[in-house]
């Protein structure tokens, strides 16, 4: 009779190619959408501003779809276990903070675009994805409600960018200070 392998032995050493592509694609989209969001809000009313708002909404819906795909992928494909060197040397609070940060980022991955979609619906600006596919409104037109939702979309976006910055800082610390190779699990393979 053979003994079962320990849980970590059956897990891959690196993230899958799909997980890596989704990770970096979503990171790029977050940064781009945040930059465009900040830029477009200061523009005077113009065709350029309307174009950027539409692009921002299309990107938000695309981000939401990619997030859903990433979540499904994550639920059906086990991530690599933390290397033994990390679990032996990283303080427990850092491991808990890492897990909490990831869970909160996933929550914000959904909350930010859904708040934007809700705001757009309540403000009476329907979303037509890439100018071709009309999407259903999440809420009925209600200008007062829209004005209540608008700041929450901004605050959630700021929270997401701050958390992404914390995530980046932790990854760089692992790479540059701890030199534990943890980041290599999320980088494209060189082979």
CATH of the domain at 124: 1.20.950
Given CA atoms 45, 155, 54, 128 in this order, what sign does their dihedral have?
negative
Best CA proximity match to 33, nearest among 187, 153, 183 = 153
Domain span including residue 138? 11-186
- Whole-prediction pTM: 0.86
Total number of domains constituting the chain: 1
pLDDT of residue 1: 43
Distance separating alpha carbons of residues 116 and 139, to the nearest angstrom: 11
Residue carrying structure tokens 């991955």: 109
Best CA proximity match to 109, nearest among 164, 169, 53, 56 = 164
Residue 129 is assigned to a structural domain of this protein = yes
Residue 2 is assigned to a structural domain of this protein = no
Question: Which positions of the chain have pLDDT values less than 70?
Answer: 1-10, 191
Distance separating alpha carbons of residues 62 and 34, to the nearest angstrom: 14
> How many residues comprise the chain?
191
pLDDT of residue 39: 93
Strand, coil or helix: 146: helix
Residue 5 is assigned to a structural domain of this protein = no
Distance separating alpha carbons of residues 124 and 127, to the nearest angstrom: 10
Contact call for residues 100 and 167 (beta carbons, < 8 A):
no
pLDDT of residue 2: 43
Residue 77 is assigned to a structural domain of this protein = yes
pLDDT single digits (tens) 53-104: 999 999 999 999 999 999 999 999 988 888 777 778 888 898 899 899 999 9
pLDDT of residue 191: 61
Residue 163 is assigned to a structural domain of this protein = yes
Residue 67 is assigned to a structural domain of this protein = yes
Residue 6 is assigned to a structural domain of this protein = no
Strand, coil or helix: 97: helix
Residue 111 is assigned to a structural domain of this protein = yes
Given CA atoms 150, 155, 160, 161 in this order, what sign does their dihedral have?
positive
- Counting residues of the chain whose pLDDT is more than 70, the rounded percentage is 94
Query: Max alpha carbon distance in the chain (Å)?
Result: 74
């Amino acid at each position: 009779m053979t003994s079962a392998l320990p849980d970590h032995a059956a897990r891959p050493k690196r993230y899958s190619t799909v997980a890596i592509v989704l990770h970096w694609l979503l990171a790029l989209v977050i940064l781009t959408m945040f930059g465009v969001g900040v830029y477009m809000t200061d523009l005077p009313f113009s065709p350029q501003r309307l174009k950027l708002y539409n692009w921002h909404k299309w990107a938000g819906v695309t981000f939401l779809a990619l997030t859903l795909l990433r979540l499904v992928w994550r639920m059906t494909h086990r991530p690599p276990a933390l290397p033994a060197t990390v679990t032996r040397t990283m303080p427990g609070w850092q491991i808990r903070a890492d897990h909490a940060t990831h869970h909160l980022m996933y929550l914000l991955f959904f909350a930010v675009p859904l708040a934007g979609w809700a705001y757009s619906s309540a403000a009476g600006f329907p979303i037509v994805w890439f100018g071709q596919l009309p999407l259903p409104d999440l809420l009925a037109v209600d200008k007062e409600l829209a004005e209540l939702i608008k700041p929450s979309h901004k605050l959630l976006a700021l929270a997401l960018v701050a958390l992404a910055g914390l995530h980046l800082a932790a990854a760089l610390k692992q790479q540059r200070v701890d030199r534990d190779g943890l980041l290599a699990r999320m980088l494209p393979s060189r082979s």
